[in-house]
Structure 1
Amino acid sequence: MITMSHSAAVGAEVHAGATSKARNLSLDRARTFLTLVVLLHHAVIPYTYFGHTDPTSWIGFDIVVLATDSFFMAMFFFLSGLFTWSGIARKAPSVFLRDRLLRLGLPFAIAAFTVIPLAYYAIALRENPELTFAAFWWKTVTVGPWPSGPIWFVWVLLAFDLTASLLYRVSAHLVDPGNRVSLAGFERPALFWLMLAVVTVSVYVPVLMYFGANKWFEFGPFSVQASRILLYFAYFFIGVSVGAANFDRGILSADGQLPKNRWLWVIATLVPYCLMWGMIYVKREILGNPDVLPHWYQAIYGTYLALFSAAILLAILAFFLHQKSPAQNLLDRMQGDAYGMFLVHYPIALWLQYALFDYALPAIVKAAVVFVLTVILSWGLTAALRKIPGASHVL
């Protein structure tokens, strides 16, 4: 018999906005926190060495972006998979497909035609101030390129959900090995981390060596980073396995060893993170920052990234599992709007960066303004959109 710490009504969405009989407060807060991390990531990118598109920059933002880029989407897929298996079990295939298309397919389609062109128009104006939005939109959807921005996650998650549905029809026991490791992780979280690390290194490093870090598969607005597609599916399917049965007695139990040893996981996170910076130094100062990196470099760096991603996932969840206070905080108030904020924030961030471009302000000031206003405006816009009849079922 499958037992859950709460209802699986969230399905596989980024957000925890769907209703359920008894919420898992820790996971709800973790999802919302990750949404804010996404907004922070996009707020500071122009002020980094990696994405230096503004006249000012600050090395502290490179530290932030290297960390966020290395784990947050993988963690989103892990959390999104937690309640997928039981959702598939409770619903007929046609109902599951309908729900996924409503929650994921419809928002992706709407955002691809509206949110994304509006976001990238801010970048296009920097190159051609005379360009009209109508001309830019038409070229985007007919000729291209048609970038997806952060919403690539939504269509990939839909594809993963449908794949999981097919796998469930093959055998509902496919997730049993991962679930057993999760149960063992109640007492020995390091065992679960080891499984996560071995699996993700195995699927990520060979693909990274083959494609490199910058290759994207693209077809219209459908895009995904080639080197990470299997990494993301591994996180998703491991999340599916964790949530399949006995959720309250596995790695994510608030009474297990993971939250009790949360500071050890911080240390476990810092070690591979520092090693990643060491490899970046090698790339820039020893290899001369080449366009094509040698395979040995990709293998070592990819291993460190996978180890870091696995450790920080457990570290973050450990802290949220430790926080048992039911008193409502900002994350709780934002929780119902988090998915909508993820969908609508990108043009807000890019237009704020566009507006601040010509001002001689420190990078920290610009990034702080962009982040705070992006949170406020995307939250307010989402709250307004959710008041439209029927919109709350999608957002």
Structure 2
Amino acid sequence: MAKSRLLFVDNLRTLVIVLVILVHLSITYGGEGGWYYSEGPKGTISSILLTWFNATCQSFFMGLLFLLSAYFTADACERKGPGRFAKDRLLRLGIPMLVYDWVLHPLSVCSLMAAGYYGPEASCRAWLGEYFSGFHMGRGPLWFVETLLFFSLIYLLHRRVWPSKTRIATTDRRCPRDREIVVLILLLSIASFIVRFWFPLGWSFEPFNLQLCFFPQYIALFVLGIHAYHRGWLMAIPAKTGRRWLAIAAVLILVGFPLLFLLGGAMRGNLTPFKGGFHWQSLALAMWEHATGIALMITLLVLFRERFNRPNRLTVEASASSYAAYVIHAPVIILGALAVRHVTIYPLLKFVVVSLVLVPLCFLLAAGIRRLPVARRIL
């Protein structure tokens, strides 16, 4: 039987997508990370603070998005049945990915070329010829949509081939206890540490644009999202558990991250040991990531369930437009950043001001696009 939709899950997903846009703007103005465009200086106080923000978000936001997406995936599969579910996934995930790969990604790159970002010799025509002569999938932030499509089809295949193993018991609604959560954190930390021997931070698996260094968390959270739907875990997390993990997250973010980067040599510009390999910094970063990430996920799930589980016009509209905002945000913030690139102010202040304009703009444009007849069924 299908379950009623939880409003706080929609609202939390909207917050995560806002954070995705903010992280990409943070990289634009000096934070560490991979993105199309960056103009902010590195090694400054502004850059350090933005990197701190990015690292905190990276610890949880995409994993949480996979958990929430898996929750909706299980719900959609229950309601629609296998055939209709597969068609819906291909339509809602496949078409936006193709539009991004064929239109929005080239638009983003060519806009930067026209602005001289890649140097005077860069040719948009030459790049387009090379780009469209090869095979590419999941460019830019649409790697998430690509991965979600893969995960959804694997889940559907699993249900078809082993139906008895996908009948998750719904009588046991006991939420995972703290010691089980700690075991999950340790397992994810070890798995990430090992995976990063071969796939370090910053390395992408091409032509699919997948950073496999983060996939232990993504896979685990997708599986947990399926279980959360069937066992009602999102409604079962005690409020005191959320408060306890909030305290843990605060210590890890405010004390753990600065200590890790000071002791690990990051403040001297030595980031290589953190990216992978047999280094204590890589293991410590993996442990910090997963402990902080899981703590923040629990905290936000409880907070939104208790405080943000009621509809209003703004949250309903933002939630309905959040997927479209995710799809279109890259060219919007790139063009917006290019428009004010010659405005010289403190990078952190510029990040705040530009974010206050471009994040709402992404959602306003998304709201207009999803009302178009051709986009209504997809976005």
Quickly say closer, same or farther: Cα 1:192–1:344, change in 2 above 3 A.
farther
Match of 1:190 among 173, 178, 200: 178
- Cα deviation, residue 288, structure 1: 6.4
Match of 1:39 in 2: 21
SS at match of 1:223: coil
Tell me which moved more, 376-385 or 281-290: 281-290
- Cα deviation, residue 362, structure 1: 1.4
Tell me which moved more, 95-104 or 319-328: 319-328
Please give the alpha-carbon distance, in whole angstroms, between the structure 2 residues aligned to 1:152 and 1:167.
22
Quickly say closer, same or farther: Cα 1:134–1:294, change in 2 above 3 A.
closer
Match of 1:271 among 248, 251, 267: 251
- Cα deviation, residue 260, structure 1: 4.3
Please give the alpha-carbon distance, in whole angstroms, between the structure 1 residues aligned to 2:79 and 2:137.
37
Tell whether the 8 Å contact from 2:106 to 2:128 is kept in structure 1 after alignment.
yes
1:299-324 C-alpha deviation (Å, 9 max, x unpaired) = 22212211111111111111101115
1:88-109 C-alpha deviation (Å, 9 max, x unpaired) = 3444433222111001011101
Quickly say closer, same or farther: Cα 1:175–1:213, change in 2 above 3 A.
farther
Please give the alpha-carbon distance, in whole angstroms, between the structure 2 residues aligned to 1:38 and 1:207.
24
One-letter code of the match for 2:306? H
Tell whether the 8 Å contact from 2:8 to 2:309 is kept in structure 1 after alignment.
no
Quickly say closer, same or farther: Cα 1:217–1:324, change in 2 above 3 A.
closer
One-letter code of the match for 1:283? G
Match of 2:199 in 1: 211
Tell me which moved more, 65-74 or 157-166: 65-74
Match of 1:394 in 2: 378
Tell whether the 8 Å contact from 1:71 to 1:313 is kept in structure 2 after alignment.
yes
Q: How does 1:57-96 map to 2 (within 5 A)?
A: 58=46, 59-96=48-85
Q: How does 1:48-127 map to 2 (within 5 A)?
A: 48-51=30-33, 53-56=38-41, 58=46, 59-124=48-113, 125-127=116-118
1:259-303 C-alpha deviation (Å, 9 max, x unpaired) = 344332211212333324322223326996164555132222212
One-letter code of the match for 2:18? L
- Cα deviation, residue 155, structure 1: 0.5
Tell me which moved more, 263-272 or 66-75: 263-272
Match of 1:381 in 2: 365
Please give the alpha-carbon distance, in whole angstroms, between the structure 2 residues aligned to 1:97 and 1:145.
22
Tell whether the 8 Å contact from 1:216 to 1:226 is kept in structure 2 after alignment.
yes
SS at match of 2:84: helix
Tell whether the 8 Å contact from 1:217 to 1:223 is kept in structure 2 after alignment.
yes
Tell whether the 8 Å contact from 2:28 to 2:38 is kept in structure 1 after alignment.
yes
Matched, 1:161 2:143: no
Tell me which moved more, 35-44 or 328-337: 328-337
Tell whether the 8 Å contact from 1:179 to 1:241 is kept in structure 2 after alignment.
no
Quickly say closer, same or farther: Cα 1:325–1:161, change in 2 above 3 A.
closer
Matched, 1:295 2:284: no
Tell whether the 8 Å contact from 2:205 to 2:211 is kept in structure 1 after alignment.
yes
Quickly say closer, same or farther: Cα 1:286–1:223, change in 2 above 3 A.
closer
SS at match of 1:224: coil
- Percent sequence identity is 23
Tell whether the 8 Å contact from 2:2 to 2:75 is kept in structure 1 after alignment.
no
Quickly say closer, same or farther: Cα 1:369–1:49, change in 2 above 3 A.
closer
SS at match of 2:38: coil
Tell me which moved more, 74-83 or 329-338: 329-338
- Cα deviation, residue 67, structure 1: 0.8
SS at match of 1:216: coil
TM-score (ref. length: structure 1): 0.82
SS at match of 1:233: helix
Please give the alpha-carbon distance, in whole angstroms, between the structure 1 residues aligned to 2:40 and 2:74.
48
Match of 1:350 in 2: 334
Tell whether the 8 Å contact from 1:189 to 1:258 is kept in structure 2 after alignment.
no
One-letter code of the match for 1:233? I
Quickly say closer, same or farther: Cα 1:364–1:295, change in 2 above 3 A.
same
Tell whether the 8 Å contact from 1:40 to 1:371 is kept in structure 2 after alignment.
yes
One-letter code of the match for 2:324? G
Quickly say closer, same or farther: Cα 1:349–1:323, change in 2 above 3 A.
same
Matched, 1:280 2:261: yes
Please give the alpha-carbon distance, in whole angstroms, between the structure 2 residues aligned to 1:49 and 1:393.
36
Please give the alpha-carbon distance, in whole angstroms, between the structure 2 residues aligned to 1:71 and 1:178.
27
Quickly say closer, same or farther: Cα 1:333–1:93, change in 2 above 3 A.
closer
Quickly say closer, same or farther: Cα 1:46–1:270, change in 2 above 3 A.
same
Please give the alpha-carbon distance, in whole angstroms, between the structure 1 residues aligned to 2:279 and 2:26.
31
Match of 2:12 among 8, 30, 37: 30
One-letter code of the match for 2:247? I
Match of 1:139 among 130, 137, 148: 130
Please give the alpha-carbon distance, in whole angstroms, between the structure 2 residues aligned to 1:322 and 1:305.
26
SS at match of 2:205: strand
SS at match of 2:342: coil
One-letter code of the match for 2:64? M
